[in-house]
Amino acid sequence: MCSSKTPETARERFARNLREKRLERGLSQEHLADLAGVHRTYVGSLERAERNVSIDSMERLASSLELDILDMLIPRSTR
């Protein structure tokens, strides 16, 4: 879908995977935020790669999506 060859930063990878996995599950940002115990606007800012998210938060969000933290960092090129 995206033909850019610019490597993603880790933040951008996490942002893209978070959004993709959330949408695959049919969850709104608000619903995911409730599941993970974070604020709705925080999920939005993570999906825009605006925040320097911590490993604990990454793990909590992954668990809320029933995924491993590794699934949240899959590079674009290997999808």
Query: Which residues of this protein are in contact with its own copies, per CB under 8 A?
Result: 9-11, 13-14, 52-56, 58-59, 62, 68-70, 73, 75
CA separation for the pair 65, 61 (Å, rounded)? 6
DSSP state of 32: H
Task: For the CB of residue 26, give the shortest distance to its own copies in the complex, in Å.
Answer: 25
CA separation for the pair 9, 18 (Å, rounded)? 14
CA separation for the pair 74, 30 (Å, rounded)? 24
Task: For the CB of residue 11, give the shortest distance to its own copies in the complex, in Å.
Answer: 6
Task: For the CB of residue 25, give the shortest distance to its own copies in the complex, in Å.
Answer: 20
State which residue, 3 or 78, has the beta carbon closest to its own copies: 78
